[in-house]
Chains A and B, each alone.
Chain A
């Protein structure tokens, strides 16, 4: 590739071009258009957008309450509400403007077969890449149950790999003992990239009622509160990824350019923004500019040159 032609924030992610390292995270921006209701918000400020977790059949999701704010964080238990893969592909994808950014499907299921079927459907669609969510904490079957078992994770990845040639991103759970081990197994099973991390399981209690605030009793914790955990997990997963040139979408609590830079330095090639959009919807240009300014100050031409530049203390 002729590096002179690449803009500073542009990157090649598994063969697809991202105009920015910022990725809008699954479950935070609906099916890609919701935030464009806000004047000043543009999908062009994101390198890619991950759509809401999609299953084979429509799902109504969990009962109220689905959300609860905690110190610098948010617990959610949406329960994968979605209209089903066929609807997403037939009704939603055609209305998206693919000239503005890249769109990534987020695949979920309660059985291995369901992951495969949904992946196969998206393979036959204009979607740019497929993220398999083996780390959703809010459904009773599948999700994190698969993601916390390296053997099962690898089987899901291998089965999905067999039915698609699109870039395959595996979304890893932080709720497991050895995330690096799991990543290694998923690489062997054919994963092209990783999303690190999904939410941490958590709970909040209404002391007057002595009841969990979340209808589902427990949920996934996101937002600035989980950033240090996420950063360490990215660092750990990068140790197994670097030898294979496997990129990571680092995520978990990113809300400033400095947060994003930390993740890039720790080993991420791209960085996700989710919960922070709820706080400040127009944050994307600010983060993009902050990264650019940092690169200028440090004489870095391309954002990819930042990935994994961490030097550990002796």
Chain B
């Protein structure tokens, strides 16, 4: 334990940009140089939404700009904390505790990473994409994002072809396009260019089109609502693929002190309750016990 000392920082972060999107979603950029330097894909911050609401709320890091010292988030208003956060103006400061958590880990043996993000599970997939593009020699990823409210970006037609996908499934995230990373979008809402169905349906279509040799190079990374994660996990089981998933639970301390954020995880010693904040949020999907 002693070697974990001083790994998490507290910063009073100035809001640089705070921009609303449809579906009560917000893009937030803050100045937080230490967290910008230390964060890795999968890590998150505990953020104080407002002076009147003392308990912090966890938000995944979507992107960092270590040079400018900024950190980006996307969040959705679901309750009191996120509501108060959405009222914070550019120029004011937020207390951030971070970066926290075990990140996603890449292995060049699995050169075809399949990234799946649903709703507010999209941000960590963007961060992971940023890391993958810096190692483009080793990886050829596909990112699938699903949303039932308008995406918190303006989808654009992809310049990359993905063999085996239905005609017309061409909408992509422009930022990932700029990074040279292939993405596709899914929804049940009929948004143009998106696949009509669940993220797992599209993932299955893609997997079925791969040779068995290619399938052995696939590793899944997923973040999103619980039912989606359970479905993605089942997919990984069916295709016998490695899978890392990022879980959510209510939090208090965010640093491993309160045991409030635990989830059931299967270990060699039997069932254990692991803390999402410091033992996760990223877990081996095959170990997660879904209720």
Contacts and interface: CB of A to CB of B under 8 A. Distances in A.
B123 to A, nearest CB: 22
Nearest to B273: A60
Interface residues of B, number: 36
A38 B256 contact: no
A81 B262 contact: yes
A65 interface: yes
A277 B259 CA distance: 14
A60 B5 contact: no
Nearest to B263: A64
Contacts of A294: none
Q: By CB atoms of chain B within 10 A, which of A33, A38, A39, A74 has the most? A: A38
Most central of B6, B48, B250, B260 by chain A CB within 10 Å: B260
B10 A40 contact: yes
Which of A29, A40, A278 has most chain B Cβ within 10 Å?
A278
A37 interface: yes
B255 A38 contact: yes
A200 interface: no
A278 B9 CA distance: 14
Contacts of A39: 6-10
A278 B6 contact: no
Given A61-B262, A65-B249, A81-B273, A282 B56 contact: no
Interface string B41-73: 000000010000111100000000000000000
Q: Say what secondary structure dominates the interface of chain B.
A: loop
Contacts, number: 113
B10 A78 contact: no
Interface size, A (range): 35 or more
Interface in B246-276: 249-263, 271-273
Interface string A122-160: 000000000000000000000000000000000000000
A30 B56 contact: no
Contacts of A30: 256-259
B211 interface: no
B238 interface: no
A209 to B, nearest CB: 14
A282 B97 CA distance: 11
Contacts of B95: 280
A67 B258 contact: yes
Given A64-B249, A224-B54, 8 more contacts: A35-B253, A36-B5, A38-B9, A39-B9, A40-B10, A60-B272, A66-B259, A278-B54
Interface of A: 27-30, 33-40, 52, 60-61, 64-69, 72, 74, 76, 78, 81, 95, 97, 223-224, 275, 277-282
